[in-house]
């Protein structure tokens, strides 16, 4: 192959390359062999038509475009990689010329990695909250644990607030049943506020087997067809159950944990909550540091880099949806849009992350950050342990070059974060002044 010219204009490069006849011929022959099985020509069995016969009928260069696709890896290696053109994504074929001697000259156009000018990325002042755990949070976790080991029992008495009332009900508007106003064997926690205001209070005092009409006026901000209307619900009480929640004492602590006293259990809950809160704060601080470094960076970002990041974010989100049993199309419809709407919603985040990515890549270059084979092997080992898989299986799933880039990026993040100066959030400062 022979490079005719390389022109760079901003974030785009145009490469004109002449392809060796022998290389082009190898690609054309491969394309013909793939295509002929679907081609029928009179006088030949399907898939047996000679290449010359097909070319005489459809044109001498009928297989050239597909042939170029067959040899594109070699073309890319020579015309892009070896010429140190930092292409973003796959180059586009914008022209193909075939001369009388069947020598092919192609023109490739590609976005190229942008020039990145770093601003301040060391010694950044970034807000960082202090990890705290309130008594209310500890009590909330204790109550959750108590609810998990609670028991229920049926009682033969009038319903009281806090009970669970199993009811049949049907709503009527001027004597006519309305849609959505009927239920059978419905468990209603009295005092939960689940039903229309005034409903639960009128169930209180009912006995099992009792039926009564309950007068209710829907709020003005309710569904349009019922907003502000006075209706009647006919209610029958089928059963009353109470939830027995254990007392929060030392015996409870022994039952639900390895601790002997409630105070020990509380201390453990607080310590774990504090550890979790600290991890969240550290993660938020790290992201804020990277964001601030990226804000200080000057770069003319090519659209293709943003699109690649957008593809990545959409793919990750799609995987999360799949784990929850939804498809991207289903989620988009639930949100009142389509995939295009979703993509546009993700775009600002993708633009922000793309700038952070090029900032970190430039820091890797400027700081001379390197990753050794030992680093990569250690990371493979850690991943195998985390996912409980064989190391070789992890290696087959994650390319060493991809892992190397991830490790370089992490080291670049560490450069920013380790030098950053944590400052108290302004809201906390204002509160302390008061």
Count other Cβ atoms within 10 Å, centred on residue 363.
24
Looking at 127-261, list the stretches that DSSP marks H as alpha helix, in order from N- to C-terminal side.
Answer: 135-148, 199-203, 250-256
At residue 427, the pLDDT reads 65
DSSP label at residue 296: T
The β-bridge partners of 217 are 230
pLDDT in tens, 204-236: 999 999 999 999 999 988 877 888 999 999 999
Distance CA 405, CA 5 (A): 31
Among the listed residues 343, 340, 339, 341, the one whose alpha carbon sits nearest the alpha carbon of residue 330: 339
pLDDT in tens, 148-186: 999 999 999 999 999 999 999 999 999 999 988 999 999
Query: What is the enclosing helix (H) or strand (E) of 184?
Result: strand 176-189
pLDDT in tens, 347-402: 999 999 999 999 999 999 999 999 999 999 999 999 999 999 999 999 999 999 99
pLDDT in tens, 249-276: 999 999 999 999 999 999 999 999 999 9
Helix (H, G, I), strand (E, B) or coil at 407: helix
Pairing mode, strands 125-127 and 2-9: unpaired
Q: Which domains does the chain have, with CATH numbers?
A: 2-113 (3.30.70.1050), 151-244 (3.10.50.40), 263-433 (1.10.3120.10)
Q: Which two tokens stand for residue 406?
A: 């991830």
């Amino acid at each position: 192959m022979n490079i005719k010219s390389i022109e760079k204009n901003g974030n785009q490069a145009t490469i004109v390359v002449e392809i060796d006849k022998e290389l082009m011929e190898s690609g054309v022959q491969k394309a013909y062999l793939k295509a002929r099985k679907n081609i029928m020509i009179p006088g030949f069995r399907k898939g047996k038509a000679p290449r010359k016969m097909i070319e005489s009928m459809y044109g001498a260069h009928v297989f050239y475009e597909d042939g170029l696709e067959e040899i594109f890896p070699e073309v890319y290696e020579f015309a892009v990689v070896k010429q140190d053109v930092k292409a973003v994504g796959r180059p586009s074929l914008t022209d193909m010329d075939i001369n009388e001697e069947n020598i092919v000259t192609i023109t490739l156009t590609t976005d190229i990695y942008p020039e990145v000018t770093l601003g301040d990325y060391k010694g950044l002042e970034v807000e960082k909250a202090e990890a705290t755990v309130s008594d209310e949070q500890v009590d909330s976790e204790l109550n959750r644990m108590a609810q998990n080991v609670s028991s229920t029992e049926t009682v033969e008495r009038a319903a009281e607030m806090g009970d669970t009332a199993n009811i049949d009900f049907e709503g009527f508007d001027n004597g006519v049943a309305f849609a959505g106003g009927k239920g059978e064997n419905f468990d209603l926690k009295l005092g939960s506020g689940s039903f229309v205001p005034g409903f639960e209070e009128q169930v209180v005092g009912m006995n099992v087997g009792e039926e009564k009409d309950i007068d209710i006026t829907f709020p003005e901000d309710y569904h349009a067809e019922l907003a502000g209307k006075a209706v009647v619900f006919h209610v029958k009480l089928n059963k009353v159950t109470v939830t027995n929640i254990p007392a929060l004492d030392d015996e409870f602590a022994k039952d639900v944990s390895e601790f002997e006293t409630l105070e020990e259990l509380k201390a453990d809950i607080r310590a774990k909550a504090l550890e979790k809160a600290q991890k969240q704060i550290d993660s938020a601080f790290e992201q804020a540091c990277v964001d601030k470094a990226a804000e200080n960076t000057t770069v003319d970002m090519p659209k293709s880099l943003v699109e690649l990041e957008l593809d990545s974010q959409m793919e990750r989100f799609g995987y999360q949806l799949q784990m929850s049993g939804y498809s991207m199309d289903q989620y988009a419809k639930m949100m009142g849009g389509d995939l295009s709407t979703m993509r546009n919603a993700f775009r600002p985040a993708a633009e922000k992350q793309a700038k952070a990515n090029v900032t970190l890549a430039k820091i890797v270059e400027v700081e001379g950050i390197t990753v050794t084979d030992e680093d990569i092997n250690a990371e493979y080992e850690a991943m195998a342990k985390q996912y409980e898989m064989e190391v070789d299986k992890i290696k087959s799933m994650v390319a060493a070059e991809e892992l190397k880039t991830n490790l370089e990026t992490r080291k670049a993040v560490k450069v920013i974060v380790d030098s950053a100066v944590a400052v108290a959030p302004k809201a906390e400062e204002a509160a302390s002044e008061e």
